[in-house]
Each structure stands twice: as structure tokens, then as C-alpha cells.
Amino acid sequence: DTSLTEVNAFSPSVPISPSSMTNQYKFEDGPELRDLFITVDDPESHITAIETFITYRVVTKTTRSEFDSSEYEVRRRYQDFLWLKSKLEEAHPTLIIPPLPEKFIMKGMVERFSDEFIETRRKALHKFLNRIADHPTLTFNEDFKIFLTAQAWELSSHKKQGPGLLSRMGQTVRAVASSVRGAVKNRPEMFTEMNNYMEMFSQKINLLDKIAHRIYKEEREYFNEMKEYGPIHTLWSASEEELAESLKGIAGCIDRCCRATERRMAGLSEHLLPILHEYVLYTEILLGVLKRRDQIQGELDSKVDALANKKTEKDLFSEEIGKLEDKVERANNALKADWDRWKQNMQWDMRSTFTNVAENNLRYYEE
């Protein structure tokens, strides 16, 4: 599809490998500038009378002065990550918060609490925290710091404090926006273009996600059939003296193809499926961010309309409109900057992912 060229319009030449791309594109948050390093590992099962759940170790190393120590180690469960995401959305409604894996990942492909499921989730949680750490604004969020440093009982106490001022403000914005139906009257053109881009991107990335899962499913079925096909030739060779060597040779060839196919499947499940699915989740997040920006715009528009119909209290309305105009401008600027940053990362991830898949396919067919 030629309309995908915009998505991949980083450079006219395609890098040879993902590793060469890492050197070609340097982002503002390069490793040499980082002062916060986070690792999610060591999953541990917990079984109680009420529920069974997994916790993960979160290790943080930092040189930042606002931290009391240079290293922290805490254990967190999935619900804690959900809490952090909701707090970031509450505090920064027009920033692009990284996606979390769903409650169940890759339905039909892995079982809950299986080693594969837990490892897939661990990687996704690790990426979630590191994307926040690399973000120029989210990385300094106070709830993020508490998530990384507080012991379980401290975090539990902090979570019970209830919704803050920003949450109540967000509810007000939603209430006002829900009463305003139809398109936002004064939405800047660039945000309409963003919305159109994301709707198109959503269609394409969802289609790619479905195709990738279908390829993986077909590859797995092929692999399972080959596993049975090789031993049959070995058994056959025992009863055919004249064909024995040839049949054993075929069995050995099938075995090598089996191992190559298994490596190819591992490459798909580790490098292609998670990236595509992450950006499926990103589309929902970005469309939500654009809606929240429109809600803030809608609140301003409703106040401007109210002022036009009011004969009295003009000074009060003018002051409220001034504050809302500032709020809309801040929301617009935050989203613009985050949009550029997200788009650059998305383009790099897509190119890197598909280059990696192409290289894996080359190796597979050579083998």
C-alpha cells in the first residue's frame, strides 16, 4: 500500500539490519543521557484463599537527586501497574501514556499463568516502565516515583487516598463534553489530521496484527505436522534395506527443517507479534487522548457560547474563558510534542521490526 510510505518515510535508503538502524537514528533520550534504569524480572506466584496472582520484581537504579537512594527493589503485581497508568492519565490527560498488556495476552495462543504467558507479560511490563522512564515529562511524575520506591504497604496506603483534584477536574471536563454532541467547532486543523491519521493507522495495524497471528498459527500447525513426519521415515528405513540411507537422510533433513521452523516461530512470537499488538493498543490510547483534547476544547467553546448569550456576569465569564484558553493551549502544546515523539518512535519500531522479520526469513530459507 503506497499510503504506508508516509509511515516509513524516515530515509530513502533501508538500513541493512536493526542494529545498523540503532546507530543511524539517535533519539533525544539516548542511553548516554539516561539517569533512570528499570528492570522487571523474577516473576513469583502467590496463591491465597481468594485469588492467585503473579508479582514481579522491579529494580530501579538512578543518579537523580530527588531520589533518596541510588537503588530500589520492590515487588509489584499487575493491578499496581494498572493503578500507575490510571494516575498518569489523570495527571497528564493529553500526553500519550504507553500501553499495558491486557489482562489476557494473545488469547487462544497461551494459557494464563503458563511460563510463556508470564514471560510475555514480564517483557511488556518492562517495556511499559522504561517507556515512561524515557519520557521527558512522565518520568518526573510523583506517582511514578512512588511506584518505583514504595514498599507494598506504603503503596497500598497511597492508593487508598482516593481521587485527587485532577481526577475531579477530569470528571467535570467529561461531564461538560458529554453534554456537547457533534464535532468540536473550533478544533485546529492539525488535530483533525491527527485523528484521520490514527483512524487509518488503526485499520492498517489491526490488519497487520491479524495477518501476523494467522502466519504464526499456520507456521505452528506446519511445525506440529513436521514433528510427526520425520520419525515416520526413520521407522520406514528399518523395513527397507535398499532405501534405508535415503530415508534416514530425509528424516534428518525434516529434523533440521523442524528446528529452523521452531527458530522462525520464536522470532515471530518475540519480535513481531508483541510490537504489532503494542501499537494496536497505542491506537486506542491515541484516539482517547485526542478525545480528551476535544473535551477540553468543548468546555472552552461552551463557555464562549454562554458568554455570547449572557448580559451580566461578563467579567466572571471572561476570567473563566481566559483560564480555559490557557488550558487548551497547554493541552495542544503537550499533545503536539508527544505526537512528534510517538510518531518517530513508531516509525523506528515498525522499520526495525519488519527488517528483523525479513532477516529471520532469509536465515530460515537458507537453512
- pLDDT tens for residues 242-288? 999 999 999 999 999 999 999 999 999 988 999 999 999 999 999 99
Delineate the domains of the chain, giving CATH numbers in brackets: 33-153 (3.30.1520.10), 187-223+268-366 (1.20.120)
Q: Per residue in 95-133, is it b (16+ CB within 10 Å) or e — as a string?
A: bbbbbbbeeebbeeebeeeeeebbebbbebbbbbbbbbb
β-strand partners of 38: 60
Q: What percentage of the chain carries pLDDT values higher than 70? A: 79
pLDDT for 4 equals: 44
Three cell numbers, residue 68: 533518596
Please give the pLDDT value at position 258. 94
**Residue 316: what pLDDT?**
62
3-state secondary structure of 83: helix
Of 43-57, 58-72, 330-344, the least confident: 43-57
Q: Sorting pLDDT into bands at 50, 70 and 90, what band is 111?
A: low
What would the pLDDT profile of 163-192 be if each residue is shown by its tens digit?
A: 554 454 445 444 444 444 445 677 889 999
Name the pLDDT band for 161 (thresholds 50, 70, 90): confident
The Cα–Cα gap between 15 and 274 comes to 22
The grid cell for 173 is 471536563
Confidence (pLDDT) at 314: 63
- Rounded Cα distance, 69 and 49, in Å: 36
pLDDT at 311: 55
Give alpha helix (H) positions in 269-313.
273-309
Composition of the chain by helix, strand, coil, percent to 5: 70, 10, 25
Tell me the mean pLDDT in the region 85-98.
94
